[in-house]
Amino acid sequence: MLWLAIHFPNLALEVFTSPQRKIQNPCPSVVIYRNKIVATNSAAAKAGVLPNTSLVTAKSITNELQYFKKDLSKEIKELANLSEPLHQFSSMISIAESDCLLIEVGKSLKLFTTKELFVKIHYLYLELGYTTQIRFSQSVLEAIILATTGAEHIQEADLGLARLEEHGISSSVQNAMADMGFSTFKDLLNLSRAELGKRFGKEIPSLLSKLDGQHNDPQEHLHISESFEAEKQLIQAVRSKGPYLDKQMLDLAIELEGWLIKRNLNCERLEWQFSEHTKKTTLISVDFSGGAQSHQEFLHVTRLRIEKEDLPFEVLTIKLAAKLTNERQSTTNCLISSSRKCLGSIPNHDTSQLVNRLRARLGKDACLQLRTKSHHSPESSWIKDYSLNLEEMKWVSNKSIYKKRPLWLLKSPKPVPINQFSLIEGPEKIQTEWWNHSSSRTYYIAQHQSGSMCWIYKYERPVATKNTSNEEAFYLHGYFG
């Protein structure tokens, strides 16, 4: 087996600042734990803010300082999210430490060299805004320690940077080794393990046996999450609908887009939750006809919905959840643009965007689709469908049923003079509700002198009207096209 360890040395800070990765001049940012600074970004370091400095001192150095409280649970959750892109290389992925991922890549070497894997994973996380240290080893523990310390070989690894307490070595043993001048693993590996055991206890020989791969701790593998839910705590309360609120929503929308892309999914319904300190919450559900994957589409349609909603006075928390997803279907474009199929098709992407905007602005029932229904009466052979399946509409012009029946039926048929029409196709006899004493009708597809294609009929037994007396009367029932 070949193990690859990915250490995120700045994870404590990057869980808060990774969406700002494209900002040219980020503000000085730090993470504090027990009122001491434990992580800084490059802008804070450049300003002179150092680790272990108190927050008061750091604020006196720069008044632009942005600080976050260390959140271990957030870091572990983020590690789980960061592990998901690695499933393209292996299914054996686990969280090794609070800021380290472990992946078994032995089988991936059939497709990639170790150098290719290193480069792919490095740039994968660099694009997401995360700094990494990546190392390979046949031993789980050696890979972790090399990645954590940044050493190229285990003999060079610094004992002080290896965080031995996470591997069962007590602080008293570490202090004893430091007092004896042990600084790197080379100092331990050159000595007899039996003698080390007598001097420091069995923990050191056990550590070294794991280091050379004689014993590996079992790993609990991670699995791809089946649902998406993300939350953002705002430093500054949002009191109005505007650019600042859009910016906070953008980070969550980009996160959802990445989650969908990794799984080849579309989102048909998402839900935003806006909350303030009093726990007052506003839920906004946004639907996407046929599904969407772009963060720009999510934000554009959401803005239209928000215009009609009242948000809490001070928004401090924003949550985003994908409530309904479906598999993203691959699409192919016609090779020859003049193809009759292409001319008769509806561009689904543009149509779905139009539908999403109309529904967000006017309501869910603003757009609908007419479907055929098995019924002998033309007036009852159509139903309204608000699901609006655009794929079924794609080749609507090629379906023969729509060439025989018009989509546009009049509420009440009206008498028309037959001399204004040219009969194109027919007759077609249709028997309506006999229990209502209705006569059977004879239908024709006809063209009006204006050019409109119409659906007209006459009764099999002529019905006298005030316009036609005893003459045969024709009625306009609908239009084609």
pLDDT in tens, 174-202: 898 888 888 899 988 888 888 888 888 88
DSSP 8-state secondary structure symbol assigned to residue 338: T
pLDDT at 446: 93
Quick one: which of 58, 48, 75 has its CA closest to 130? 75
Residue 123 sits at φ, ψ, to 5 deg, of -75, -25
pLDDT at 330: 57
Q: Label residue 85 by pLDDT band (50, 70, 90).
A: confident
List, for residues 339-353, the tens digit of each pLDDT value: 444 444 444 556 777
Determine what percent of the chain is predicted with pLDDT higher than 90.
18
pLDDT at 294: 87
pLDDT at 443: 92
pLDDT over threshold 80, residue 407: no
Contact by Cβ (8 Å): 114, 136: yes
List, for residues 187-242, the tens digit of each pLDDT value: 888 888 888 888 888 888 888 888 887 777 777 777 767 788 888 888 778 888 88
List, for residues 21-42, the tens digit of each pLDDT value: 545 557 888 999 988 999 898 8
CA distances from 387 to 369, 405, 470 (A): 8, 22, 47
Whose structure tokens read 């976050």? 68
Tokens of 80: 């789980």
List, for residues 125-153, the tens digit of each pLDDT value: 888 788 899 999 988 999 999 999 999 99
Quick one: which of 429, 425, 432, 435 has its CA closest to 460? 429
Quick one: which of 261, 251, 223, 231 has its CA closest to 321? 231
Tokens of 427: 């007759």
pLDDT at 259: 82
pLDDT at 422: 93
Residues 285-304: what's their mean pLDDT? 86
pLDDT at 146: 93
Tokens of 268: 């048909």
pLDDT at 395: 45
Q: Label residue 16 by pLDDT band (50, 70, 90).
A: confident
Residues 166-176: what's their mean pLDDT? 88
Distance CA 230, CA 427 (A): 62
pLDDT over threshold 90, residue 416: yes
Q: What is the mean pLDDT of the chain?
A: 81
β-pair type (29-33, 66-69): parallel
Determine what percent of the chain is predicted with pLDDT higher than 70.
85
pLDDT at 362: 73
Quick one: which of 16, 23, 26, 20 has its CA closest to 47? 26
pLDDT at 393: 54
Q: Which amino acid is at 474?
A: F
pLDDT at 347: 47
pLDDT at 398: 47
Global pTM reads 0.58
